[in-house]
């Protein structure tokens, strides 16, 4: 009975050879009889280094993918479930189900091929369960077919983002409605298949790395351009699993992600997947061995710190701040480098960004040792003094909240002779002129902390401040007197003329 079903399926496939989507020009990533219509997707940040281009790469490492061909209706039929066939026949049935899942449909039209879409969805669900069950070692030919099916379904031309398709500049990216992928009911199951395949103990990594190669990794990284956050989340988990399981790919994955960051910071400042890529790096940094390699320190200086520059930092700041803090906790000597990097990219007119920087600064200072703190405290507290006097109350408030941290207060106390003279004027100015009463109260509390810390130093700073104010007042009076005399002389000259 089963052999009849398989023969019927083969006859059915031969009638619909144009309904299956092919992927690239590689033989080991073709699925049955496939379309050879190729188009080029030009992602400058995804171009691999010389020698890394695989069989699916075009000239100069540009990735070539096949244009999707929509399957006509009535071309596939449901196969029996795994429990309905003998154990010896399940491998053949599994391969046949993988071939059925290579069919592609038009999900924009929800009424098109409804029956066939449901058959494919159910088949994908069965494949997920079969791979997860771990019924036996996944043989090489099966691994090859799994990767073929996955590549056919997920590697595709992504739709343009809102600003690319309409030419409209999106002012607030956080307010933008997330894109919903029409084919997600099928794509989610395909991602579940590859996730369970990569994570399975039955997957032979020596065999799998032939198919999950550099080209596969590059195409996977391309999917971080998807506007659908659900898809990016799956790609993040899968790439992280590949990084953990295939040590041979680790340097290539890190370098490829860095290329995306470079292009984002220095060219486009637009990429929807920066947060997810930073999450992967956060986990990678956590596993760095000590002493830290020079390569990793360069990543901090050349990639992570410049990521504070783009306007859209609020979309990924939590992940970026975690990565930065991980570096300082791993190697406390990097605190000076990080703090000076923050000061280099400190925002001037973006108050919301300043609040984010101050929050990150507090986390970094918590992991900073006294020796590193002394190296950067002068430029640091000059910037904090400017924040204290900010007319935006949230910036001033966040700066004053630094004195709620006991570790930061201890660092300040050890260097109060240098720090208090820098910020004393800013504290007095807040008390006298700041419009917000909450800021007024917080400033008084900080002033009280310094007074209790060192009364003699506080009184000395206060005396210097009063003398400076008196001199400034005297200079102002002299200036007004000079202008008054000039005005009188001008009037006399007009009368004589």
- Give residue-wise pLDDT tens across range 447-472: 999 999 999 999 999 999 999 999 99
Give the list of residues 6+ apart from residue 424 with CB closer than 8 angstroms, or none: 450, 461, 462, 465
CA distances in angstroms from 103 to 6, 156, 297, listed in the order given: 17, 14, 46
What gap in Å lies between CA 30 and CA 152, rounded to an integer?
Answer: 8
CA 282 to chain CA mean position, Å: 10
Residue 34 phi, psi (nearest 5) = -125, 165
| Average pLDDT score, the chain | 83
Q: Which residue has the tokens 């065999």?
A: 207
Residue 392 phi, psi (nearest 5) = -80, 115
pLDDT tier, 60 (very low <50, low <70, confident <90, very high otherwise): very low
Average the pLDDT over each of 166-175, 226-235, 247-256 and give the range with the smallest value.
166-175
Higher pLDDT, 246 or 35: 246
What gap in Å lies between CA 327 and CA 317, rounded to an integer?
Answer: 15
The model's pTM is 0.80
For range 197-224, the mean pLDDT: 92
Asked if residues 120 and 112 have their Cβ atoms less than 8 Å apart, the reply is no
Q: Does pLDDT of 33 surpass 80? A: no
Which residues are bridge partners to 38 per DSSP?
Answer: 66
What gap in Å lies between CA 383 and CA 399, rounded to an integer?
Answer: 10
Residue 20 phi, psi (nearest 5) = -105, 140
Sign of CA dihedral 224, 228, 231, 233: positive
Residue 348 phi, psi (nearest 5) = -105, -40
CA distances in angstroms from 303 to 254, 264, 282, 297, listed in the order given: 11, 10, 13, 10
Tell me what pLDDT residue 163 has: 54
What gap in Å lies between CA 60 and CA 53, rounded to an integer?
Answer: 8
Per-residue pLDDT tens for 83-141?
888 888 888 999 999 999 998 888 888 778 888 889 999 999 999 998 888 766 778 88
Q: Which of 12-26, 194-208, 355-369 has the highest mean pLDDT?
A: 355-369
CA distances in angstroms from 292 to 297, 320, 337, 338, listed in the order given: 7, 19, 15, 15
Per-residue pLDDT tens for 156-197?
998 887 655 444 454 455 556 778 888 999 999 999 999 999
Asked if residues 304 and 324 have their Cβ atoms less than 8 Å apart, the reply is yes
Average the pLDDT over each of 197-211, 223-237, 318-332 and give the range with the smallest value.
197-211
Q: Does pLDDT of 61 surpass 50? A: no
């Amino acid at each position: 009975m089963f052999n009849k079903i398989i023969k019927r399926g083969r006859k059915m496939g031969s009638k619909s050879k144009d309904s299956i989507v092919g992927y690239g020009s590689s033989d080991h990533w073709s699925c049955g009889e496939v379309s050879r219509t190729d188009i080029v997707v030009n992602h400058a940040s995804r171009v691999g280094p010389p020698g890394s281009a695989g069989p699916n790469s075009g000239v100069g490492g540009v990735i070539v993918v096949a244009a999707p061909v929509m399957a006509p209706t009535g071309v596939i039929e449901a196969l029996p479930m795994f429990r309905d066939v003998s154990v010896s026949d399940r491998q053949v049935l599994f391969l046949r189900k993988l071939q059925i899942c290579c069919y592609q449909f038009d999900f924009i039209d929800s009424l098109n091929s409804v029956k066939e879409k449901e058959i494919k969805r159910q088949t994908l669900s069965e494949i997920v369960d079969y791979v997860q069950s771990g019924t036996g070692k996944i043989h090489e030919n099966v691994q090859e077919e799994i990767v073929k099916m996955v590549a056919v379904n997920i590697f595709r031309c992504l739709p343009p983002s809102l600003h690319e398709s309409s030419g409209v500049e999106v002012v607030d990216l956080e307010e933008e409605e997330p894109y919903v992928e029409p084919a997600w009911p099928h794509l989610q199951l395909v991602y579940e298949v590859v996730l369970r395949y990569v994570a399975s103990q039955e997957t032979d990594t020596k065999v799998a790395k032939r198919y999950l190669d550099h080209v596969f990794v590059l195409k996977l990284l391309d999917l971080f351009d998807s506007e659908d956050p659900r898809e990016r989340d799956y790609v993040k988990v899968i790439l992280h699993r590949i990084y953990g399981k295939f040590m041979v790919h680790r340097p290539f994955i890190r370098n490829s992600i860095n290329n995306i960051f470079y292009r984002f910071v220095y060219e486009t400042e637009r990429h929807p997947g920066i947060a997810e890529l930073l999450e992967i790096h956060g986990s990678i940094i956590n596993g760095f061995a000590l002493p830290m390699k020079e390569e990793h320190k360069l990543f901090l200086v050349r990639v992570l710190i410049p990521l504070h520059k783009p306007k859209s930092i609020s979309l990924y700041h939590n992940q970026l701040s975690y990565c930065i803090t991980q570096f300082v906790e791993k190697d406390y000597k990097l605190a000076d480098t990080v703090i000076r990097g923050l000061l280099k990219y400190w925002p001037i007119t973006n108050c919301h960004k300043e609040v984010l920087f101050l929050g990150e600064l507090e986390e970094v200072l918590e992991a900073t040792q006294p020796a590193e703190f002394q190296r950067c405290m002068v430029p640091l507290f000059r910037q904090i003094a400017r924040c204290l006097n900010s007319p935006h109350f949230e910036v001033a408030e966040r700066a004053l909240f630094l004195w709620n941290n006991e570790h930061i207060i201890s660092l300040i106390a050890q260097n109060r002779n240098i720090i208090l003279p820098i910020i004393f004027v800013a504290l007095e100015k807040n008390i006298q002129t700041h419009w917000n009463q909450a800021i007024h109260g917080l400033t008084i509390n900080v002033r009280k902390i310094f007074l209790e810390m060192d009364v003699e130093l506080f009184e000395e700073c206060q005396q210097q401040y009063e003398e400076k104010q008196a001199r400034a007042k005297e200079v102002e009076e002299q200036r007004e007197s000079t202008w008054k005399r000039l005005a009188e002389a001008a009037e006399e000259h007009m009368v004589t003329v």
